[in-house]
């Protein structure tokens, strides 16, 4: 029997969290969740960037605002307000905390997503890329976190998650990825059953010490175990990818690929790429590989609106 993750969360424990969330506007008057009052307390010293989308497009730590924004508005989301994109996207200028060569040797990206795209193209939710003047291809940056909407339409009730990370070894680009597909269903990976147009928690974790790429959805590890440990060709044979190194300066994109559509003139838009229709909320970038427990705490706290 196929193993699936049912994202129609109706368990008593989840309902209890939601009830607690509605009791008071003050986090510290509520019972803690895993010892935390709110999601901002989880790995707070490692949080490099945070987009709340609570009525603002600005990144909260740097106050950076997008240099280009298309098709966006704000809607009620998983935690307060969130970003709504209608064939839209955001492009941000360089954010210094995300741009130093070794700033994100290990990295975790956490966010809530509600995908509505249909068709034959893939949707990039979040990316840290090369800057618009130097980017020569869509994946020549640190990472992309996306959904294979070209393989599964949102209305099909199945989501296929995919993400890639990259490093520059002696200024030479090398990359790796992971995806919840291929191999033996239920043994190598898990299928996602989310339902059309519903919020879910999406996490990319790269551990530079172990060279591992993991994908989580609603606090479950769903990525392919066969693609977990990533190696790169170093000329004399394959070696562990290790801590990620980028060529600064970088930029951030939300809801788009780094291509000519978004103003990256050296990176041709490709037929399989599209801009996003759907929602994004609470994007967080950490300079560490969060533990399973920390990812679980983020999920539970933000699920409760905290």
Residue 28 confidence (pLDDT):
61
Residue 27 confidence (pLDDT):
56
**For residues 219 and 201, is the Cβ–Cβ distance under 8 A?**
yes
Tokens standing for 223?
């990525």
Domains, the chain, ranges and CATH?
Answer: 4-303 (2.60.120.200)
Residue 250, φ and ψ in degrees, nearest 5: -110, 165
Residue 230 confidence (pLDDT):
87
Write the CB contacts of 92 (distance below 8 Å, at least 6 apart in sequence): 59, 64, 65, 66, 67, 251, 252, 253, 254
| Predicted confidence band of residue 197 (pLDDT cuts 50, 70, 90) | confident
Q: Is the pLDDT of residue 24 over 60?
A: no
Cα separation of 224 and 230, whole Å?
A: 12
| Predicted confidence band of residue 6 (pLDDT cuts 50, 70, 90) | very low
**For residues 138 and 123, is the Cβ–Cβ distance under 8 A?**
no
| Lowest-confidence pick of 135-139, 282-286, 299-303 | 135-139
The pTM of this model reads: 0.88
Cα separation of 252 and 262, whole Å?
A: 11
Mean of the pLDDT values across residues 66-94? 97
The terminus-to-terminus CA distance of the chain in angstroms comes to 36
Q: How far is CA 198 from the centre of its chain?
A: 16
| Lowest-confidence pick of 129-138, 167-176, 216-225 | 167-176
The CA–CA distances, whole Å, from 147 to 95, 135, 249 equal 25, 22, 26
Q: In the block, which residue shows the tokens 């909320």?
A: 281
Q: Which of 154, 92, 90 is nearest to 122 (CA)?
A: 154
Tokens standing for 305?
């609106």
Which tens digits make up the pLDDT trace of 83-103?
999 999 999 999 999 999 999
What region does 153 belong to: left with phi over 0, alpha with psi -120 to 50, or beta? beta
Which tens digits make up the pLDDT trace of 140-164?
899 999 998 877 666 666 788 999 9
Q: Which of 167, 242, 175, 165 is nearest to 205 (CA)?
A: 165
Q: Which of 249, 251, 244, 245 is nearest to 212 (CA)?
A: 244
Residue 152 confidence (pLDDT):
65
| Predicted confidence band of residue 30 (pLDDT cuts 50, 70, 90) | confident
């Amino acid at each position: 029997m196929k193993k699936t993750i049912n994202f129609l969360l109706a368990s008593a424990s989840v309902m209890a969290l939601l009830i607690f969330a509605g009791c008071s506007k003050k986090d510290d008057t509520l019972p803690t969740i895993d010892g935390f009052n709110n999601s901002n307390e989880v790995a707070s010293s490692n949080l490099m960037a945070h987009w709340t989308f609570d009525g603002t497009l600005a990144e909260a730590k740097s106050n950076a605002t997008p240099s280009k924004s298309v098709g966006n508005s704000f809607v009620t989301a998983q935690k307060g307000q969130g970003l709504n994109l209608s064939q839209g996207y955001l492009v941000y200028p360089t954010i210094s905390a995300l741009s130093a060569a070794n700033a994100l040797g290990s990295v975790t990206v956490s966010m809530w997503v509600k995908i509505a795209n249909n068709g034959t193209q893939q949707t990039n939710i979040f990316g840290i890329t090369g800057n618009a003047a130097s980017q020569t291809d869509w994946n020549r940056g640190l990472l992309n976190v996306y959904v294979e909407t070209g393989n599964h339409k949102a209305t099909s009730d199945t989501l296929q998650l995919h993400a890639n990370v990259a490093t520059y070894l002696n200024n030479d680009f090398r990359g790796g990825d992971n995806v919840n597909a291929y191999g033996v269903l239920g043994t190598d990976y898990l299928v996602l059953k989310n339902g059309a147009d519903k919020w879910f928690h999406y996490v990319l974790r790269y551990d530079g010490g172990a060279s591992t790429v993991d994908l989580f959805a609603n606090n479950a590890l769903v990525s392919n175990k066969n693609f977990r440990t990533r190696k790169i060709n170093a000329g004399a044979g394959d070696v562990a990818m290790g801590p990620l190194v980028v060529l600064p300066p970088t930029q951030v994109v939300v809801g788009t690929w780094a291509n000519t559509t978004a103003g990256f003139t050296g990176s041709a838009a490709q037929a399989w790429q599209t801009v996003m229709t759907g929602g994004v909320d609470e994007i967080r970038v950490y300079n560490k590989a969060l533990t399973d427990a920390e990812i679980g705490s983020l999920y539970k706290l933000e699920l409760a609106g905290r």
